[in-house]
Amino acid sequence: MRKRLKSKRGFLLAEQTVKIIIALIGILILVFLLVSLYYSKIKADKQAKAFNTLTGNERIEDNLKQVEEGKVNPARLQIFEPAGWYIFLFTGEGIKPNSCVGENCICICADVWAFNIIDPFSNERERQTEECDEDGACLIINNLENREDQIEIIRDMYLLIKKENNKIKVLKE
């Protein structure tokens, strides 16, 4: 009579497979965590650069004051940072970031996609306003010309700030 021996190779194979799957899940979690930290750092750096572009030394705010006071008209300003982001003008009675409610303002933030996969029927302007409010920098300008516009910040870009008919115009040169 022959006795059948139970094979332990099958048991060991299943045990090793479970260990490999658990290790892969752990590695994927670590990679996701590192990528998230990297992109949050990049976003924070760009937000700081946007704030500095608006309110830093010799930046948009200083040039606006000079134009309003009549010291310079027009003011020509070279903008470098944050590259790839946009300058948005929020005027009139439309949707505005919370930091600009009831006032006209200029904001620097990332652009949102025209089509949103999560909510395809959402309003692009509302999503842009939320993006500027959460991850951008805004500066209130009371007598900003009544128009809604966006200007992409690109390499060697000049911004023209001028006063016409008691209104401040911000244009890409």
Query: What is the model's pLDDT at position 25?
Result: 96
Q: Evaluate whether 64 touches 161 at the Cβ level (below 8 Å).
A: yes
Total domains present in the chain: 1
The pLDDT tens digits of the residues spanning 1-25 come to: 455 555 555 566 778 888 999 999 9
pTM: predicted TM-score of the whole model, two decimal places: 0.69
Q: Work out the angle between the directed axes of helices 60-68 and 9-55 (0-180°, nearest 10).
A: 20
- The conformation of residue 119, written as its DSSP 8-state character, comes to -
Where in the sequence is the domain holding 94, given as residue range(s)?
A: 52-172
Whether residue 30 lies inside any domain: the answer is no
Whole-angstrom distance, CA of residue 59 vs CA of residue 78: 9
Ramachandran category for residue 162: left, alpha or beta (phi over 0 → left; psi -120 to 50 → alpha): beta
Whether residue 104 lies inside any domain: the answer is yes
Whether residue 133 lies inside any domain: the answer is yes
Whether residue 114 lies inside any domain: the answer is yes
Between residues 58 and 59, the one the model is more confident about: 59
Two structure tokens written together for 58 = 């010799």
Arithmetic mean of pLDDT over the chain: 79
Whether residue 43 lies inside any domain: the answer is no
Whether residue 66 lies inside any domain: the answer is yes
